Every structure is written in structure tokens, then in C-alpha cells.
Amino acid sequence: MARIDETRPFVAVGIAVLTVSDTRSLADDKSGATLAERIAEAGHRLAARDIVTDDVEQIRAIVSRWSKDDAIDVIITTGGTGFTGRDVTPEALEPLFEKRMDGFSEVFHRISYDKIGTSTIQSRATGGVLNATFVFVLPGSPGACRDAWDGILKPQLDYRHMPCNFVEIMPRLDEHLRRGAGTAV
């Protein structure tokens, strides 16, 4: 059963938030603000925050750059997960994932179904790993961001969460890059 192990220390991680929208600015970005507030309340560092239009190349450029930044452990995008012509965030990011996290989408939809019923099928929320950085692609509504953060991300980004969590495996996400480094074959 899931629990918090109070004998373990809390470990703050750096989290970047990218809002994908053709119409929002930082001043009226409710989803990005929701995530930023929850990140701070949980004790993590907001390492970066930006807004980009629904453009595959722009989304890829920012997420790729952030995934190589040592101060950023996790990237959360919000917006562009629907089915309209401008919704391209999954198309932009899934091809970049070194590993997909199918369970993230499945759990997100289970949580979402409890709140909005079958309307959850209109989201293509996804997650994966890019350059040893966790990437989560969320819908553009504050409610969806709250659900994903409260129900999945907050506990999984808490080193004290048992039986396992993302923070404890972060140092091993790039094992494939280090394997054999510096040794003669």
C-alpha cells in the first residue's frame, strides 16, 4: 500500500512548466499557474516556465533544451493534447521519448474518468523520458493539471513515497549513456 516514509528526507527537484497555447500569455495562463503553485507548495523548485505556440518544432526545441539542463529534472507541458488541428503536443514529444510511460496515461485517465466521465477520452495525455528527464504532457485545463499533479505527480515526485517513486530512480535514468564509459572494449 502507498505511504510516506517519514524516516526518509524530502528531496526537492527542479521542475519546468511549458504551456502550449496560441492564445495565452503568462498573465492569463491558469494551467501553468496552477502547476507552478503546486510545485512550490510541494517544496520543489520551479526551474523554468514558458509559453509556446502550438508548433511542433518550437515545442521540441524548448523541451529538448530543457531536457539537457542539469537544473531541470522534470518537464511538465500543459495544452495541445486534444484532437483539433492545432493540438500537436503528443506528436511533438512522443517521437523524442527514449522510453514511453504508458502507465502515466492510463492512471491519468482513471483519475480523470472519476471526475469528468467519458470526456477523458478527449485527452491524449502522455509521458516519457528524454535525456534522463521525466516529461509529462497534460491537457490545457487547470482541472486536468490539478488531477495529474495531485493524483500522480506529487506522490511520485516525493522521495518519501513508498513503495517506490520517480526521485529514487532519477540517478539511474541515463545508465545507458554511462555504461562502459571510460573502459576499453
What CATH number should be reported for the domain holding residue 135?
Answer: 3.40.980.10
| pLDDT for the residue 1 | 84
Average model confidence (pLDDT) for the chain? 94
Number of residues that make up the chain: 185
175 within some domain: no
pLDDT digits (tens, 9 = 90+) for 25-53: 999 999 999 999 999 999 999 999 999 99
92 within some domain: yes
| CB of 147 closer than 8 Å to CB of 115 | yes
| pLDDT for the residue 69 | 97
Q: What is the mean pLDDT of residues 98-126?
A: 97
| Per-residue confidence band for 114, with pLDDT thresholds at 50, 70 and 90 | very high
| Per-residue confidence band for 125, with pLDDT thresholds at 50, 70 and 90 | very high
| Per-residue confidence band for 162, with pLDDT thresholds at 50, 70 and 90 | very high
178 within some domain: no
3-state secondary structure the chain: CCEECCCCCCCCCEEEEEEECCCCCHHHCHHHHHHHHHHHHHCCEEEEEEEECCCHHHHHHHHHHHHCCCCCCEEEEECCCCCCCCCCHHHHHHHHCCEECHHHHHHHHHHHHHHHHHHHHHCCCEEEEECCEEEEEECCCHHHHHHHHHHHHHHHCCCCEECCCHHHHHHHCCHHHHCCCCCCC
181 within some domain: no
Q: What is the mean pLDDT of residues 162-169?
A: 96
Q: Is the pLDDT of residue 97 over 60?
A: yes
pLDDT digits (tens, 9 = 90+) for 172-184: 998 876 544 443 3
The percentage of residues in the chain with a pLDDT greater than 90, rounded to a whole number, is 92
Q: Is the pLDDT of residue 144 over 50?
A: yes
179 within some domain: no
3 within some domain: no
Query: Environment class of residue 124 by beta-carbon count within 10 Å: exposed (0-12), middle (13-18) or buried (19+)?
Result: middle
| Per-residue confidence band for 142, with pLDDT thresholds at 50, 70 and 90 | very high
Q: What is the domain extent for residue 130?
A: 10-168
| pLDDT for the residue 182 | 41
Domain count, the chain: 1
| pLDDT for the residue 178 | 54
| pLDDT for the residue 174 | 83
| CB of 140 closer than 8 Å to CB of 19 | yes
| pLDDT for the residue 179 | 42
